Structures are given as structure tokens and as C-alpha cells.
Structure 1
Amino acid sequence: MNAIKRFGNKANRFAIKWAEFVIKYKWPVLIATIVLAFGLASKGKMEFDGDYHVFFSKSNPELEAFDALQEKYTKDDNVLIVLSPKNKNIFTKENLIAIEELTAESWNTPYSSRVDAITNFQHTSAEGDDLYVDDLSYESHLKTDEEIQEIKRKALKEPLLVDRLLSKDGSVTAINITVRLPGEDSAVEIPEVTAFTRNMISQFREKHPDFDIHTSGLVPLNTAFFEYSQKDFMLTGIMIIIVILTTLILTRSIFSTISTLLVVLFSLISAVGFLGITGIKLTPPSAVFPTMILTLAVADSIHILITMLQKMRKEGLSKKEALVESMRLNFMPVLITSLTTVIGFLTMNFGDVPPFWDLGNITAFGMAMAFLYSTTTLPALMAIFPVRTKQRVVKAGSENRGLYTRLGAYVAENPVKLSIISLLIIGLMAFTATKNRFNDEFVNYFDETVKFRTDTDYISENLTGIYNVEFSVGAGESGGINNPEYLRKLNEFEDWLNEQPEVIHVNAFSEVARRVNRSMHGDDEAYYQVPGNREEAAQYLLLYELSLPFGLDLNNQINVDKSETRLTVTIENVDSASMIAFSKRAENWLKQNTPEYMHAIGVSPTLMFSKLGFRQADSMFKGNIIALILISLVLMLALRNFKLGLLSIIPNVTPVLVGFGLWALYKAQINTGMVIVFGMTLGIIVDDTVHFMSKFLRAQREYGYDARQAVVYAFETVGKALVTTTIVLIVGFAVLAQSHFALNSYMAQITLIIISSALIIDFILLPSLLILTASKPKAVATPEKVQPQVIKS
């Protein structure tokens, strides 16, 4: 304990010497920090990556399984173009001509490998032993009304079309463009495909204005990630303006505002330099780092500036004296706040989502630089600027007490009552927090102002689902997919899937086998079943494959040696838990009803995103515990009091419980972005706690105040600074809450709630607990500083 106290005295002396050094050598210090900031900025390089794969670590088992499936068959990155004619009937000559034209043009899409539409659907028929496979509607301009009605009849009976490329009533259809992206540079490849398809659709609209067009698919999803990460980055400009206005209003000093602005800008450009040095590419979650750094960096400057201005206005200290005293009082709290914030953000590396690793690392570096600049650049600038304030004169015996003095006095008089009420409310919120349910649908990553979201919702309501689960079902041997037993079991699995309530469509090889078998028997419906003879099945498959045109083969459904087939289940837009439960149910059916070689696991981007949040939550749990322990140890050392270090855990953890409790009343749904909130806000919350506790302890140690007097003193000296920094944080995260990307906006919204809760808890519960657990202060014979007059204003 004596060692800890000696550490505190040394910290005081160091802060004073540091302040005096910076003031004495203000110009060299300022120039050095400018060189450092712009030196780092010169290394800066910002690139954006919109590929959805960035959300998954290389060791993610779901991603590994999905990549393995795509290697066996074909990659299925796609653009789904949905056409809705205003006459609600796809099957008119004009509409079929338009669809045929757009289908032909879609083949020109960069990296396209396949285009599926109703017009080029491969319809089978047979004459004798000859199998014919033709486009369902080719040269549509030559078709008669009778032929078009026959096309409609065939299409609406075709299981591979209905609820996949054609609505049940024939009013909506889709063209699915499959692209094989090289994967060398998604920042080039994805925009290239997007630009072409957007231009193609625009030209189609001009020529055929009677169609409503909606797009979805993995390429538009990647595009939305890419575009909205850039838009979120542009929130930086708004945040800079807010920082200027907020600081100016709260400090009422133009020089303080300029100094703060330079500190946050230096921190920001240093973080940009970190991007270039590390080669990090920005994604939607990590693109918000400027807003976070700008918001958090302001807090360091505000504490130093407000204390300095208070000393000048209330106690009549000179600018230099006030600046040195402010650094003495705030150096250690600002250091601890910065350190705990860095720890909090670094815990994001324990998670399983790489973009949040990047966000944590970039922000942690930015916050470390913010501490450096706020203890060098800021005091140097304030020493240079001609800062003058008018000292406030307080009449002797005045009873007009300030807001923070009155609040402190009220808390000091009612610690038991306030503690009980606070703990009851916190307990209730903690219970309510358990009502939150996890849901990580990637469509809901975007709000309803985003075209990708509205288009996808339209497609889900009017044509087909965009969520799917895929299975690579093995046959146990090369060529085994023609084994009648395999086909029969695959057919049973397909039938079982179609019976499930969430299933919209099943695309299985067993359907191809049934269709070809029927065609080879004169389209007799009695033969609409899988072949019962292996040689016959193999012969039919060979005839069918030889009849297919280039680009419309079965490579997307059958592997090279015909030992496995790909089964794709399209399901309704269900929540994450339901998606995972459905996949597990299907896997269990295969285990219980098929030979071992047919057992398969469900994979798909949809399923990966569904499992991502749960995996992230499990990974972050360990990180959060470590962060809590480290931050508590740091506070024990900084406060030089083991008991108060333990006590600080309460005001540091309870705001998160309250935040999630209130969120349960608001939305009751959390996503991957919100999983990191505990670790992220833990460091932020400490700012309030450590500044209040440090002032409380100074009052006891330096002035011999009892606990109640120390609480009032803490309110008087740091109350305004805490409110000011909280307002800045609230404003900053309120800007981020305007993001159209739900991972960011939800994270910002709940952070707003937690930060607000933290201030209330630190103003009510924390001082009450400090009073109730305080021991009697020791007499102070020779205080470090002259006891200040309590200013009542």
C-alpha cells in the first residue's frame, strides 16, 4: 500500500514537471507533434473492401465448409434481377421479348458464367429414344398466342421454375446472373459488375418502362457493404463540425476550441497513417473509426481545458499556474481513461469478426495518439494562445449554490436511499436484458432507406426467398449419383424438405432425374420418378448433359466424378436461431434416414451470418472478462486504493446491464455489432468513474475532507467536465447512429444509452457507495496544496 502511495506522489510530481516542460518548450513541442502527426499521415492509405467474406476469419468452420462446396461445384456469386410487368402477366409476347432481350444482354456481364431465366430454361421432351432439350421460349417475337399459352402452362408446372424464377401466378419473374469473380481485388471486380448491371437495367427501363425492376443477390449485397462503408466514413465531416460547435459552446473559448480541434485532427490523421502502415482495408464496421476517434479524443482535451478555465475563472490563477494545476489534477485520470479505452477496444481481437478486429486496433491506436497529443500539443497551444478569462467574484456569505454543489449535497444527504433505489432499478434492468434475442439476418444489416434492403424485401414477398442452405450430398463412389438407391434417398430428402414450413423451394438433382425419366417415357406422369435402373439413369443423364447448351450445364449441381450432388434449399426470411435450427434439423434427418456417405452439413452465406453473432458472442466473453480484470487492476493502481478499485467495478459494469435492459424494452433484438459493446464501452465508462473517484480521493488526501464533503468537492470540481464529455460522446455516437448500416447504427444507439446511464450512475450510485464504504480520513498536517475556498455560485 505504501508503494502505491509513493507511486501516486511520483505521478503528481511527474505531471507537474511534464506540464512545466511542455510550457517552457512550447514551440519545439508543438513542432515535434506536428511533424509526428503529418509524418504518420504521409503513410496513410485508405482502401475499401466490400466482399462479404471479410466478415469471416480464415479459421471460421462455416466459411471453410462453404468454400469447399464451391470448389466442388461452381461459385455462386450472383445478381438476381426481378421483373414485375405492370400488367401482372409475364406471358405476353411483348413481355417475353423483353425478358429474352435482357437475358441475352446479361451474358455480357463481366465475369458471368451462367444466366438463368424462364426464356432459356432447358425444357425436356422426347421422341422415341431421342431426348430434346430446348429453351422454353426462344425467338419469342415469332410465337403465336396459343404457343405463348402453352409456354405458360409448362412454366407454371415446372418445379425448378416456380418459387425460384417465377411466381406462382406468373406475375413476377427473375433473371439470375451467376458470376465467377477472380477474387484478386474485390474493390475493382464488384464495382465493375455493379456498374455494368446498373447501366444494363437503366437502358432496359428506358426501352421497357412497363416493368418494375428490383435487384438482389450476393454481388448487390457486397455492393451495399462497399458503398455504405464509404458513406459511413463521410460522417467524419459532420462530426468535425459538431466537435467545433460543442466545444465552443461548452468551454466558451475560441482558443480552447481550436486546440481541441487540432488534437482530434492529429489523432485522426495518425490513425489514417496506421491504416497505411498495417495495410488494413476499410469495411462497414471499421469505416466508422474516424467518428469514434473524434468523439473519444475530445474527452481528454475537455477535462484538461475545463479544469484550467475553472482555475482561472474561480481561483484567479494565471494561465500558466492554471495549466500546470490542470495537468497535475488530470494527467493521471486522462492516462488511465486512455489506457482503459485502449484495453477495451483491443478486446475486440478476441472476437471472430475481422472487421471488428480492425475497428478495435485502429481506434486503440488513435486513442493512444489522442492521449499523447492532449498532453503535448494541447498544453503547448494553450501556453502560446493569449487565453484570458474574467475571474468570478463570490460575495462572502452567499447562499446561491451552483447546480453541481446542490446535486452533490443532495446525494451526500441520502446515500442509503439512493443506493437502494439505484440497485433495484439496475437489478430490474439486468433481468430485462435477458429478454433480448439474437438475430443476425444480413438483409437487416441495412435499414429500409437502402435500396438493397427494399428490393430484397420485395423479392421475398413476391417471388422467392433470398435465404438458402446448401448440402453437398455424397453418393459414396464415382458415378454413384446414378445409383437408384441414392436417387431414391435424395428424392425422400427433397420431399421431406418441401414439407418443412419455412421452405419455399428445393433445387435437387433428383428433380432432374425425375423430369428426364418422364420425358424419356413419352411425358407419361406415371414415370415422374427417379429411374429404378442404374444403367438407365446413367444413360438418361448422359443424353441430357449432351443436349444442354454451353453455360447451362449441370456443373453447378454435380461434381466432376459424379460422386456428389448439390442440393439448395430456399427458405423464408427467418431469424438466425430459426435458420440454424432448420439446418440442424435437416442434417439430423440425413443422419437418421440415409447411409453414412450421404450425411452432409448445411452451408451458405446466410447460415454463416446466422452463426456469426453466436460465435462472436462466445469469443468475446473471454475478452470481456480479461478486459474487466485488467481495467480493475489499472484502477486499483491509479486510485492507490484496493477497496475503491474493487468498488469501481460496479459503476463500470452496471451501465451495460442498464443499457441492454432498456434495449430489450426498445427492440429486444441484438446483432453482431452489439456483441462488442461491453468491451468497447467499458473503457469509455471508466472516464467518468476515474475522474470522479480521483477528485474524491484528492479531497480526502489533500484537504482532509470526510466522505460527504469529498463527494460535494468532486461534484464541484469535475461535475461540469463529466457532463461536457458525456454530451460530446452522446453527440458523436448520435451521428454514428444515423448510419444506414444496422451493425453500426445499433451499436451506436445502445452505446448512447450506456453512456447516458453511466453518467447517471456515476452521479447517484457511485457517490452514495463511496460514502457508505468510506473510512474516516486521516488528518492532513501539511497538504500539498492550499485548501481551496469552496466556490458557491
Structure 2
Amino acid sequence: MIKWLTTSFWDFIASKILRNRIGLLVALVLFTLFMAFQWQKIRMTYTEANILPKDNDISMQYKLFLEKFGEEGNLIVIGFKDDAFFTEKNVRLWEEFINEIKKDKAVDLTLSISDLKVLKKDTLNQKFNLVPFVNNNQFSDAYLKEKKDELFNNLPFYESMLFNKESGAVRFAIYINKDIVNTSKRKEFVDKYLNEKRVEAFEKATGIDLKISGMPYIRTLNSQSILGEIGLFVGAALGITSLLFFFFFRSFRATFISMIIVIIAVMWSFGTIGLLNYEITVLTAIIPPLIIVIGIPNCIFLINKYQQEIKKHGNKAKSLQRVISRVGNATLMTNLTTAAGFATFIITDSDLLKEFGIIASLNIIFLFFLSLIIIPILYSYMPLPKDKHLAHLEKNYIQFFIDWILVTIKKKTIAIYSVAIGLLVFGIIGITQMRISGSVIEDMPKNTGFFEDIRFYEKEFDGVMPLEIMIDTKRPKGALKSATLKRINELQETIEEIPELSKPVSLVNLLKYAKQTYYNGNPEYYELPTKQEEAFILSYIKNSTGKGKENLLKSYIDSTGQFVRITTFMRDIGTDKMKHTEERLAQKIEKLFPKERYDVAITGKAYIFEKGTHYLVHNLVISLLFAIFLISLLMAYLFRSFKMIIISLLPNILPLIITAGLMGFLGVPIKPSTILVFSIAFGISVDDTIHFLAKYRQELIANNWRIKKSVYNTVKDAGVSMLYTSVVLFFGFSVFTLSSFGGTIALGGLVATTLLFAMLSNLIFLPALLLSLERSIANEQEFTEPTIDILAEDKEEIETENE
């Protein structure tokens, strides 16, 4: 096998970097400007996360639904629970508020008090007419009270759609143009008409607390929250990592150099998003601060190595050359393993995760080159570090921590294994209690007004997340057949019995309303027409014309009459309840709609997201296993020993099991955000293992294969950098707990916790394994010459150490 990453190779790289300092710096500046220019291509996502692959059956059904009925998530609702609305003053103020919205071309239809239409029978022409519910010229407190009573008592068609008869809550609807729902114009519409200032002005004038919701509104404010947090994360990550870095090194120049590297890396990460024409999503938004957190450990290892070299011999040129040639391999390998943890997301069929994996893995490799080039070049122009800059290498608290580790692994081997086994059992038990969450709104910011409004609509109208049932009758006009209508009606009765779902709306509701109107508006006749009544009621509907009628019909049935939809809304329910609800609906559908005569599909955004979550969890488990396999191959390539592969994996898999157990016991569900934790943490934690084992092999050779001495020396030497990097990573990932998004909080907290466990595992459990298995691994056969000299040292130095 060709050893392309030999010491001589890195000596060559070191000489090239140090001899071409000006050219490399100019190249970096030019490339940074190029990446900054790509920022203008960056755009915010205006669609939901595309989790399911496009060729998935559920995705195909949803696509067919959109082709037949258009975007279903175009409804914005504005509601309240206040009797004070039905007064002349407040209704007129409301009309001023809503009229400006109605005039906008982005609005297809509104359902408000003044434009609410009701059916009236025209006996002479044998048709139904849509007439205004109220006369704007007759507004008075008494008139509006009368109209409110009529709405609540005589118009069951609008019950649950526009009002809650039991609580008195009312909501009006704005249907925005389906062509702008997934574009930036949606944001412009919301910002213009439903901004905080305009809403507060209405509330102050009327004393009514407006509740605004609906998918377009939720998605817009959610996107704004994501965008707003990028600056928070970047600033917080820079702040905490720079403070920690300065605390460890007590050097402004070291801190300054590190900050330059991560700031450039952040610029490149934004540039990568623009260059690849990707969008800012809830995942890509965390990449810039993620790059800061991951980039600092690179700086710690390289600067620590430089200072150690200076302390040894005081030769700047030799120290800079060794920073590149002696730890270049180690830094490359650790960055590759970290990148591999993210790159495994690319094998999933989710566009959202693929983009996240591509951008993250690319920029981690960029970090390696930035660190390896900038640190030696900038230090080459600076004076030698002073004694105070090197004092951190012998800090008392560092020495205390290392001494504690040494005492533990020397004298408490049984305790180490007992704790490890106990934690393993704890983790396995916790894993059995883990649950999967497919909630659309669970991760949304809970301290925002729009989230409180979602809860209002869940309580009063059973949710705002649309759930659709599309029925293909397999023949034109089949949806209007009496048998089909009766089946739809029976299915709707089942939906009404399910507490997690709202009252459904379909063509059946319209026919019931038509029958009520035919019988002079008597609400007792709000029911499906009998077979005998269908002929003359349908003839009335057929004779009816006008835009209003078209708007009503096209919402429920396609132009051919073959496809019909049932629309309901779903509360934010757990996955278990969702599964039970789906099973109940599926059983009823199977009974009512024989497959040889009908094709029935459950779809809608809420359903797609729930199914996508399960699909994602399955794929991410595969990606985690692939990450373990990939990194195992890398370990095999580095150490060429099966036993060393096992030894290197155990200290990194144990923290994953512990974290999974904690999730189970604390009730943190498996969802797209939390399942990312394991691949990310595994890829990062393996870095410490590589550094430790590479140094261990070096110590074995230097100490004539004396195991104990080699392990203790490795802990002393590698322990400092491992402690520094782990502390930085812990607090760096903890920055994400500042988020208002539950998923981002969970991601940050869980990765930080896992990495803390991983540090202790690599500094305590890994040395204990090496000491316990010394008879079987402490020989030259198990440590044959590696394919890559990770921490190469020259023979002269080894001989000096032996003396």
C-alpha cells in the first residue's frame, strides 16, 4: 500500500507553506472575497422541510393531491374569544383592518363578517343564490347581536369552520394565492398586513385580543425566528470559545489568530450555502456556529504543539515546521472523522439532510486547511511566545486533573469497569423507553406569541395543522353519486368522533347546507339529501352560477368530478396517538371504500411530516451505523489491528448509549433534531481517540513496549489538549441551548453531554482497556507500522527521550 502521508510528505507541505506565505495569504483573501460574493445568492426557505424522498408513495400521493386541489396550506385565520366584537364600533374597526387586506392581489378569498355569504333559495329560477350575510348599511349593536345569534344557531355549515358554538370563539379566514405560498411574497404579505404594530393598534382600539395562525403565518414567523438566531449563535459561539481559549492560553495573539480562522470559516460556510444554491433551513442555520465550535479544537492542537516545541528548544522555524509535519496527519485524520460523521447524512434520501451533510462536511475540511495554513504563517511574523504564554502548560488545575486521571486508572480499575457496566445497563434500559415524535410544532419557539395562538386554535377549533383525505372514485362525476356521498358522510362521522381531529369539511357539508336552504333555512334539515331529494337539489345547484359558487365547489371536488377531498385539522398530538388515529381512519376507509372501486389516500402537511419523521429516524440509524463502519475502516487503515478497532470504538459507543438512555428517562423524543446528535457526537469524539492512540503507539516505541509507562505518558501528554478541546466543545455546543427552538436546544444539550461523557471515556475507560488487555495487545504484531504516521517524531527525538 502506498504511504502517501509520510513524514517526508508533510515536511514537503511544511516547506511549501512557510516558503510561500505571501502567496497563500493573498489566495486566502481572494477566495474569502469570492465566497463573500456568494452571499447574495443565499435565500431563506419558504417551504417545509423536504424529508420524504420524491419517489416515496406518500410523497407521490401528496403531489397528486396538490395537482388536483392546489396548495392546502394557504389559509390564515384571525380569531378571538370576545363578545365585545359584535358591536357597531368594533365591527367597523374590523372592516377597516380587513378591507385593506382584501384589496391585495395576494388574497384569493376572505371569510369575514361583511363578506360572509349564505345560500338563498330562488324558487322562480330554481337555483340557489349566494347573498351577503349582513347588510353593511344596517350596522347597529342590536342588528349585529341578532346576526350573531343567527350565525351560531341557524348556520351549522359554518360551525367549527368559523365559530365554536360552545365557547363562543370566532375566527375569520384569509385564503392567500396558492402561487405565492412558497415564495418570498408570502413573507411580504405577512409583514405588511399582520405585523405587530398593525395588530396592536387594532387591539388597543377595540380591546379585543386577536389570535392569528394558519400555516402561511406560522411558517413565516418560524422562518424569521430561524434567521434571527443565526446572529445569536455566531456571536455567542465566538464569545464563549474566545473566552475559553484565552482562559486556557492566556495569550491575546493566540486568541486573535483562532478568531480569524473561525471567522473566515464562517464566511466560507455562508458562501458554500450560496454557491451550492441551497436555502437557509433550521439545519443549515446552525452550520456557521457549528464551524466555530469545531474549528477551535484545531487551533488548540496546533497552537499547543507550537508552544510545546518552543518550550523544548526555542527555535521558531523548527517549531513551525513541526506544527505542520508532526501533527498535520493527526489534524487531518481528526477532521476527516468529524467530517465523516456529517457526511453520512448524504446517504439519506432526505434533501434537507443531504444539504446539511454536504455543507457541514465540506466546511470541516476547509477548516483543516485554514488552520494548517494560517497558524504557522501568522506565527512566523510574530515574536516568540513569552514565558507567561507557556505557563498554561503547567497550570495547577490542569495538573490536578491529570493526576486525578492517573490515580483513577492506576488504582481503580474495578471501579472503572463497574461504572462503565452500570452506565451501559442504565443506557439500555433508557433506550427501551424512548419514543418517536412526529409533531410539526413541537420544536417551534414556545415563548412566542404565534405559538400561544396555535394553542388557542387547538383548544377552540382542534388545531390548525391540515389533514386531508383524497378519494379517487375512478370515474368522472363519481364523487356526486349517492353511494359515494353516503360513504363520505359516514367517514366524516367517524372523524368527528376522534377528539384529536376537528370537524371535517367536504362536498357533503355543502350538500347538507343546500338541503337546509331548500327547506327555507331550517337547521333541522341540515343533513345529506335522500336519493329522492338529490335530483331537485342538485338541479338547483347546477342552475346556480357565479364566482362564489365556483369558489365553494372547487375547494371540495376537482373539475372532472372524479376526485373529492375531506379536510380536517389536527391537534399537536404525540406519535402514538397519531398512529392510533391513522389506524382508526384506515380501518373505516377500508370498510367504506372497496379498493376495486376507490383509491383513498390520507395526506396533508401534518401527515407528511409525521411519516417523514419515521422515515428519517430509520435512515439516520442507518447513517449512524454507516458512520461507525466508515470510521472503523479509517481506524483499520491507521492502526491495521482488529483489536485496536474494537478498543477505539468502545469508549465512543458507550457515551452514545448513555445519552440515548438519558433521552429515554428524561422523555426527550427521537425526532429529526435529536437523532442528529449521535452521528455528530460520534464523529467528533473519535478525534480524541485518534490523538490518544496515536500518541500511545509513539510512546510504546519510545519506551520499548512498556505498556503502563506508555499509557501514563500518553495521559500526561494528550490529556491537556483533550481537556481543552472537550471543554470548548461542551460550552460551544451548549450555545445552542440559547435557541427558542426545542430541536436546536435538544441538539446542543445532547451533543454537549455526549462529548463530555466521551472525554471522560477516552481519558479513563480507554486507558483502562489498554492496561487490562496489555498482554494481548502490547506487542509489535498488534502495532505494526501504520499506513499513516499520525504523530511522526524523528529518530533523534525518540533517542533523546530514551536517554
Using the size of structure 2 for normalisation, the TM-score is: 0.89
Corresponding position of 1:108: 103
Letter in 2 for 1:72: K
Distance in 2, matches of 1:208 and 1:712, equals: 74
Cα offsets for 1:247-277 (capped at 9, x unmatched): 2211122222222122222322223332232
Corresponding position of 2:634: 634
Corresponding position of 1:785: 797
Aligned with 2:206: secondary structure?
Answer: coil
Distance in 1, matches of 2:90 and 2:616, equals: 47
1:417 Cα deviation (Å)? 3.2
Cα offsets for 1:740-785 (capped at 9, x unmatched): 22332221221111111111111221111111223335699x9552
Letter in 2 for 1:71: E
Corresponding position of 2:161: 164
Cα offsets for 1:174-212 (capped at 9, x unmatched): 111111242597234433344233279438616733111
Distance in 1, matches of 2:197 and 2:405, equals: 65
User: Contact conserved, 1:102 with 1:204, CA < 8 A, in 2?
Assistant: no
Match of 2:289 among 288, 291, 307: 291
User: Contact conserved, 1:436 with 1:664, CA < 8 A, in 2?
Assistant: yes
Distance 1:522 1:34, change over 3 A: closer
Distance 1:75 1:421, change over 3 A: closer
Corresponding position of 1:664: 664
Cα offsets for 1:669-718 (capped at 9, x unmatched): 23211222222222111111111111111110223252222221111111
User: Contact conserved, 1:77 with 1:178, CA < 8 A, in 2?
Assistant: no
User: Contact conserved, 2:152 with 2:165, CA < 8 A, in 1?
Assistant: no
Distance in 2, matches of 1:100 and 1:688, equals: 65
Distance in 2, matches of 1:127 and 1:205, equals: 39
User: Contact conserved, 1:90 with 1:172, CA < 8 A, in 2?
Assistant: no
Deviates more, 1:692-701 or 1:39-48: 39-48
Matched, 1:384 2:381: yes
User: Contact conserved, 2:337 with 2:683, CA < 8 A, in 1?
Assistant: yes
Cα offsets for 1:210-254 (capped at 9, x unmatched): 111121111112212321221122121332233322222111222
Distance in 2, matches of 1:201 and 1:42, equals: 36
Using the size of structure 1 for normalisation, the TM-score is: 0.90
Aligned with 2:285: secondary structure?
Answer: helix
User: Contact conserved, 1:347 with 1:360, CA < 8 A, in 2?
Assistant: yes
Corresponding position of 1:122: 117
Match of 2:67 among 71, 77, 85: 71
Deviates more, 1:163-172 or 1:605-614: 163-172
Mapping of residues 365-380 of structure 1, within 5 Å: 365-380=362-377
Deviates more, 1:198-207 or 1:561-570: 198-207
Aligned with 2:569: secondary structure?
Answer: strand
Distance in 1, matches of 2:584 and 2:258, equals: 57
Distance in 2, matches of 1:270 and 1:76, equals: 38
Mapping of residues 400-549 of structure 1, within 5 Å: 402-523=400-521, 525=524, 528-533=527-532, 534-543=534-543, 545-546=544-545, 549=548
User: Contact conserved, 1:79 with 1:217, CA < 8 A, in 2?
Assistant: yes
Distance in 1, matches of 2:305 and 2:85, equals: 72
Corresponding position of 2:209: 212
Q: Percent identity?
A: 17
Corresponding position of 2:715: 715
Aligned with 1:444: secondary structure?
Answer: coil
Deviates more, 1:706-715 or 1:383-392: 383-392
1:100 Cα deviation (Å)? 4.7
Distance in 1, matches of 2:407 and 2:210, equals: 65
Aligned length: 777
1:311 Cα deviation (Å)? 3.7
Letter in 2 for 1:735: V
Ranges in structure 2 where 5+ consecutive residues have no aligned partner: 784-793
Deviates more, 1:516-525 or 1:231-240: 516-525
1:329 Cα deviation (Å)? 4.2
1:351 Cα deviation (Å)? 2.9
1:322 Cα deviation (Å)? 3.5
Deviates more, 1:628-637 or 1:149-158: 149-158
Distance 1:549 1:188, change over 3 A: closer
User: Contact conserved, 2:87 with 2:141, CA < 8 A, in 1?
Assistant: no
User: Contact conserved, 1:695 with 1:714, CA < 8 A, in 2?
Assistant: yes
Letter in 2 for 1:776: A
Distance 1:305 1:705, change over 3 A: farther
Mapping of residues 136-175 of structure 1, within 5 Å: 136-139=133-136, 141-142=138-139, 145=142, 148-149=145-146, 151-169=148-166, 171-175=168-172
Cα offsets for 1:34-93 (capped at 9, x unmatched): 44444444444452333233434544543432232232124333353433265x455444
Ranges in structure 1 where 5+ consecutive residues have no aligned partner: none
Corresponding position of 1:47: 42
Match of 1:344 among 341, 345, 354: 341
Aligned with 2:387: secondary structure?
Answer: coil
Distance in 1, matches of 2:316 and 2:475, equals: 85
Distance 1:70 1:159, change over 3 A: farther
Letter in 2 for 1:432: G
User: Contact conserved, 2:673 with 2:744, CA < 8 A, in 1?
Assistant: yes
Distance in 1, matches of 2:197 and 2:161, equals: 22
Letter in 2 for 1:382: Y
1:368 Cα deviation (Å)? 0.7
User: Contact conserved, 2:691 with 2:718, CA < 8 A, in 1?
Assistant: yes
Distance in 2, matches of 1:147 and 1:719, equals: 77
Distance in 1, matches of 2:66 and 2:318, equals: 69
Corresponding position of 1:554: 553
1:343 Cα deviation (Å)? 1.4
Aligned with 2:45: secondary structure?
Answer: coil
Matched, 1:259 2:273: no
Corresponding position of 2:728: 728
Distance in 1, matches of 2:69 and 2:30, equals: 54
Aligned with 1:562: secondary structure?
Answer: coil
Deviates more, 1:471-480 or 1:92-101: 92-101
User: Contact conserved, 1:43 with 1:274, CA < 8 A, in 2?
Assistant: yes
Distance 1:541 1:233, change over 3 A: same
Match of 2:237 among 232, 236, 239: 239
Distance in 2, matches of 1:146 and 1:272, equals: 59
Aligned with 1:375: secondary structure?
Answer: helix
Cα offsets for 1:382-407 (capped at 9, x unmatched): 2221132329899xxx9x96531442
Cα offsets for 1:441-479 (capped at 9, x unmatched): 222221222232122112222344113311122344322
User: Contact conserved, 1:194 with 1:219, CA < 8 A, in 2?
Assistant: no
Deviates more, 1:268-277 or 1:19-28: 19-28
RMSD, aligned α-carbons: 3.1
Distance in 1, matches of 2:780 and 2:572, equals: 66
Distance in 2, matches of 1:66 and 1:165, equals: 26
Distance in 1, matches of 2:147 and 2:108, equals: 30
Corresponding position of 2:790: none
Corresponding position of 1:600: 600
Corresponding position of 1:570: 569
